[in-house]
Amino acid sequence: MLDLKFLRENPEIVKQNIRNKFQDHKLPLVDEVIALDAENRRTISEANDLRAEKNRLSKQIGALMAQGKRDEAAEVKAKVAASSARLAELEALEPEYEEKIRKIMMVIPNIIDPSVPIGKDDSENVEVQKYGEPVVPDFDIPYHTDIFERFCGIDLDAARRVAGNGFYYLMGDVARIHSAVISYARDFMIDRGFTYCIPPFMIRSDVVTGVMSFAEMESMMYKIEGEDLYLIGTSEHSMIGKFIDTINPEEKLPYTLTSYSPCFRKEKGAHGIEERGVYRIHQFEKQEMIVVCRPDESPAWFDKLWQNTVDLFRSLDIPVRTLECCSGDLADLKVKSIDVEAWSPRQKKYFEVGSCSNLGDAQARRLKIRVQGEGGQKYFAHTLNNTVVAPPRMLIAFFENNLCADGSVNIPVALRPYMGGIDKITPKN
């Protein structure tokens, strides 16, 4: 959410940012919020003047009564009563204006970083760099569910009977690798100085609206019926929410946390063959990283965060590339975002396995995450988040890139301690 003062003083910058995000339908909101803000400021000013007048008249009444001038005092009391009535009207208007302004400000997108490429959608994202050599083996690589089935490692039919489409049972070696990857990712981030955390898997509505846009909320979140609680779509939500309404000493920043959680999302659809199986699902597990830091530190932390994901995938022998998200592909709260994509030998292309985002002070402004600097000055922190690893989608990349011609799957050296020391798994079928 933008600073209202910034919008008031820079309406054309805000409008151009909206155009850059191809959201022209939001352009009238800028003038609307400026008009509401002006009216609210007039209301506050008039209310303050009336309060001062009431205080002055109240003192005058006391003086007149002391002098026995009851009639004159009564006239002044009538003025005070009229002022009180008007003041009550104005005091009722103030929260109304503030709520209208807040709702509009929650919809106006954050100012994107100048380095973000301008584009309408994810088709115009820009490749930054490739890491590792993409290989297409001289044997056919089956679809990921077919690979898993060779290891007796997945049961989608039973999951449909139990929970419906978009769920799965992972079993045996496939389930073991899933857990091993999560444990490895946890220790990988701890070794890089992050504090491990297991957060709440449900959050209240004020946290939801603090960490994401309304559009994301509607498309992603499951609400608990009869409760002010939502299942998290990613642990970033409750991790950033941990700092809601806090004032944090500057010397304690940055906070660097890595968290494990299950994730629950509405988004599921048969949008193409590659989304069959476990590519796009209602439930999955993830290791996440978040940073709460000073504004001047956030660009450097942004680069560190996405590099962590690249390094982790490369340690598991998976080629990856980074993509700079264009303006039209950025969610409204994001300042800048980079996707990490893994190589799929079967598809002969890359696919998304993680996303790193710098949200500037947008989440902090909504959640009132403040920093107390030198001299007691307070300002809003910057928040960042990034996927460390998100099985089971990551398992697709893992199995495809480590599959051998005989159907066995190599276990990279880094993962072997989490797999009882074995260097390979072999099919059951």
272 and 392 share a domain? yes
Specify whether 135 is located in the same domain as 55. no
Residue 112 domain-assigned (yes or no): no
Same domain, yes or no: 71 and 152: no
87 band by pLDDT with thresholds 50, 70 and 90: confident
Judge whether 248 and 381 are in contact, CB under 8 Å: yes
- Which residues constitute the domain of residue 154? 122-425
Identify each DSSP E strand in 311-421 by its residue range.
320-324, 336-344, 349-358, 369-372, 378-380, 382-389, 409-410
Q: Is residue 396 part of a domain?
A: yes
Which of residues 72, 105, 138 is at a domain's end?
Answer: 105
Q: Are 298 and 360 in contact (CB under 8 A)?
A: yes
207 with 309, same domain? yes
Q: What is the pLDDT of residue 64?
A: 66
List pLDDT tens digits, range 110-123.
999 999 999 999 99
Number of domains composing the chain: 2
Does 21 share its domain with 97?
Answer: yes
Residues 131 and 70 in one domain: no
CB of 118 within 8 A of CB of 96?
no
- Output the domain CATH number for residue 332: 3.30.930.10
pLDDT mean over 133-150: 95
The pTM score is 0.89
Give residue 82's pLDDT.
74
The 10s digit of each residue's pLDDT in 310-340 is 999 999 999 999 999 999 999 999 999 999 9
116: left (phi over 0), alpha (psi -120 to 50) or beta: beta
Residue 193's Cβ-count burial label (10 Å; 0-12, 13-18, 19+) is exposed
Does residue 217 share a domain with residue 310?
A: yes
Residue-wise pLDDT for 1-44, tens only, equals 899 999 999 999 999 999 999 999 999 999 999 999 999 999 99
Which CATH number do you get for residue 48? 1.10.287.40
Q: How would DSSP label each residue in 237-260?
A: HHHHHTTTTEEEEGGGPPEEEEEE
Same domain, 78 and 173: no
Q: In what order do the strands lie in the sheet with 202-203?
A: 202-203, 230-231, 222-223
Give the bridge partners for 86, in sequence order.
none
Model pLDDT for residues 219-243, shown as the tens digit of each residue: 789 999 999 999 999 999 999 999 9
Sequence-distant (≥ 6) Cβ neighbours of residue 90 within 8 angstroms: 43, 44, 46, 47, 50
163 within a domain of the structure (yes/no): yes
